[in-house]
Amino acid sequence: MHHEPLKTIFSRDRLIIFGRYPVPGNTKTRLIPVLGPVGAANLQRHLTEKALLAARAFAARRKTTIECCFEGGTPRKIRRWLGPIPRVTFQRAGDLGSRMRTAIFDAINEGCRRVVLVGTDLPDLSAEILAEAFDALLQHDVVLGPSMDGGYWLIGMKRPVDLFQNIDWGSPQVFAQTQAKARHVGGAVRVLKCLSDVDTAEDLKNWKGAENFPEIFLTVVIPAVNEEDHIQQSVLSAIGREVEVIVVDGGSTDDTVFKAESAGAFVTENLLGRAEQQNCGAALARGENLLFLHADTLLPKSYLAEAFEILMAKNTVLGAFRFKTDFHHPFMRLVVWMTYLRSKYFQLPYGDQSLFMKKAVFEKVGGFASVPIGEDLFLVRHLIKRENAHVMMAEGSAITSGRRWKTLGPFKTTCINQLMLLGMALGISLKTLSRLYRRSAT
């Protein structure tokens, strides 16, 4: 089993969290028809974090080493998601039994006196249950935690007892076969209480805590005024099973509202400007995460999976996509490159890059400032300063309409944008800058 070089002095008791790095489409596949690819991966994330919380609470009292033995991911990604973990290893190839056998036997061969392996699909896992499992190994050779589906959610041992061969993995006989095998080899077995895991639609239905799991992963908020030529495609680029799209109309006199609703968006109205439009949409959001999309911008096809990956990181407060336009002009290559440098190295993505963040973070900083121009810039700066955060850049590009560059010319448009930034830095009135910006666009 591959693992990183160890720099920590480990306890002789080891708790192995046996799970999978959440990847939309490859995680909790039996729940994808119900939750969608990202929703299913988000459930895996949620349950894993809950299991690790219980493990840490137990380990803090018992001085037990926690090992995360995962399928998929990298040590860096796993620690970015779950925080500091003393030991990260990866499951070897083979069926479930051979992978668990390797993880447990490796720990015993490294000198561990008691080893407990537990899954990550257990809403009711607690520090007390884990303590009971380790205590049972003082008097017994094997401890098993049966699950309602006939499998088991926990297995522990203090000597290498091979209970993993000739088991009908995935069948309702797994626990019974394992228990019989343990008794056949003369091991004293302790059986813990039966718990339910969450693997199927029926499990999800019976889970008492399901009402606390967010039905919507992401809310996309689109402020719009007279965007009938672009709004429909913008909404369609964002819409999905795990996504709600809220268009906040600023008083359109064309077919913006009709086209937005036809594409599947919920439309509401706010006439106070783009900052307030976006705050209005965020206040109505049911998603646990927010993405702010301009009405003339298209999200990349992979946007939801990319946002999921970035937002999974424990300390991420803000993500953004790369900038691109549909205006094919040689000068635009320079604009795209400069935008990438500004976003990546100066940590200043703009609103046309589709900023996204956890809703709790957005609410914590008070949302967008009520300013007539540069509300996206103020929010980014505020987040970085207040949360001491690093902006994470996605690989995909949000494609913004090049209409302004086509009308004014790419050089003039770029100069105007830079003058606005300079004006803000010099403290020029935002109302004055807003009037100049709009006048320059006509």
d(CA 155, CA 364): 42
CATH code of 258's domain: 3.90.550.10
Residue 112 token pair: 């561990």
Contacts 24+ apart (CB under 8 A), 165-171: 165/97, 167/97, 169/95, 169/96, 169/97, 170/96
- The per-residue pLDDT for 205 is 83
- The per-residue pLDDT for 442 is 57
Together in a domain, 176 and 41: yes
Cβ atoms of 15 and 137 within 8 Å: the answer is no
Last residue of a domain, one of 212, 243, 259: 212
Q: SS in 3 state form for 216-248?
A: CCEEEEEEECCCCCCHHHHHHHHCECCEEEEEE
Query: Is position 249 within any domain?
Result: yes
**Total number of domains in the chain:** 2
Range of the domain at 46: 13-212
- The per-residue pLDDT for 110 is 93
Together in a domain, 134 and 228: no
Beta strand pairing status for 243-249 and 266-269? parallel
Beta strand pairing status for 13-20 and 114-118? parallel
Together in a domain, 139 and 222: no
Question: For 82-118, b where at least 16 C-beta lie within 10 A, e where not — what string?
Answer: beebbbbbbbeeeeebebbbbbbbbbbeeebebbbbb
Together in a domain, 271 and 418: yes
Together in a domain, 146 and 273: no
Query: Is position 4 within any domain?
Result: no
Together in a domain, 290 and 157: no
- The per-residue pLDDT for 437 is 67
- Quickly tell me which residue has 């429909």 as its tokens: 232
Cβ atoms of 331 and 411 within 8 Å: the answer is yes
Beta strand pairing status for 218-224 and 142-146? unpaired
Last residue of a domain, one of 212, 239, 262: 212
Task: Report DSSP letters for 108-155, one per residue.
Answer: HHTT-SEEEEE-S--TT--HHHHHHHHHHTTT-SEEEEEBTTSSEEEE
Query: Is position 2 within any domain?
Result: no
- The per-residue pLDDT for 88 is 94
- The per-residue pLDDT for 126 is 95
Together in a domain, 199 and 299: no
- The per-residue pLDDT for 254 is 96
Q: Which residues, 6+ apart, have CB-to-CB distance to 171 below 8 Å?
A: 150
| CA triple 156-162-167, angle to 5 deg | 95
Query: Is position 232 within any domain?
Result: yes
Give the single-character DSSP code of 296. T
- Quickly tell me which residue has 């009308």 as its tokens: 407
Together in a domain, 174 and 30: yes
Together in a domain, 176 and 256: no
Together in a domain, 41 and 65: yes
Last residue of a domain, one of 177, 212, 247: 212
Query: Is position 7 within any domain?
Result: no
Cβ atoms of 383 and 318 within 8 Å: the answer is yes
Together in a domain, 143 and 242: no
Together in a domain, 369 and 234: yes
Query: Is position 8 within any domain?
Result: no
pLDDT along the chain (442 residues), means of 10: 47 92 92 92 94 95 92 92 92 93 95 95 94 95 94 94 91 94 86 91 80 86 96 96 96 96 97 94 96 97 95 88 89 85 84 93 92 84 78 92 80 74 72 72 59
